[in-house]
């Protein structure tokens, strides 16, 4: 009886289940990283849009006051720094790579799930 139980624990079918679990975890992991990177990119785009001199925000009366002018200068300096650094971050390349990675793991998950379904129909 012990040998039969040990054979079931070492059966290759468990490799399929482990691979399915790993692919699902990788989908969650890379999807989270992808969404975080997209949010970060969106935040940078919003900051660039706000700091653009032709922005409607630039015409607010508050920016013509002493304190407003100081804050607006900081915003413009920060926006210029973002505009300078953003191309070197290559966020669109990273986003594309994560999208391909997630897509690959989704395809793998689907294929392994089909194998799992076949195995469960055959009694495993």
Q: Is the pLDDT of residue 72 over 80?
A: yes
What pLDDT was estimated at residue 5? 62
Report d(CA 53, CA 70) in Å as an integer.
Answer: 15
pLDDT tens, 26-59? Answer: 999 999 999 999 999 999 999 888 877 666 676 6
Mean pLDDT of the chain: 87
Q: What is the pTM of this model?
A: 0.76
* Contact of 30 with 101, CB cutoff 8 Å: yes
Q: Is the pLDDT of residue 7 over 90?
A: no
112 CB neighbour count, 10 Å cutoff: 19
Report d(CA 116, CA 20) in Å as an integer.
Answer: 8
Helices (H), 52-90: 66-89
Report d(CA 35, CA 42) in Å as an integer.
Answer: 10
Report d(CA 103, CA 52) in Å as an integer.
Answer: 36
What pLDDT was estimated at residue 94? 97
What pLDDT was estimated at residue 54? 64
Q: Where are the domains of the chain?
A: 10-121
């Amino acid at each position: 009886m012990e040998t039969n139980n040990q054979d079931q624990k070492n059966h290759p079918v468990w490799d399929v289940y482990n691979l399915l679990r790993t692919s699902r975890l990788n989908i969650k992991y890379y999807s989270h990283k992808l969404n975080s990177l997209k949010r970060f990119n969106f935040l940078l785009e919003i900051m660039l849009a706000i700091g653009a001199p032709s922005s409607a925000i630039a015409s607010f009366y508050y920016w013509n006051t002493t304190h407003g002018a100081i804050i607006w200068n900081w915003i413009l300096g920060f926006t210029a720094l973002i505009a300078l650094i953003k191309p070197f971050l290559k966020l669109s390349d990273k986003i594309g790579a994560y999208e391909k990675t997630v897509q690959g793991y989704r395809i793998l998950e689907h294929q392994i799930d089909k194998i799992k379904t076949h195995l469960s129909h055959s009694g495993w």
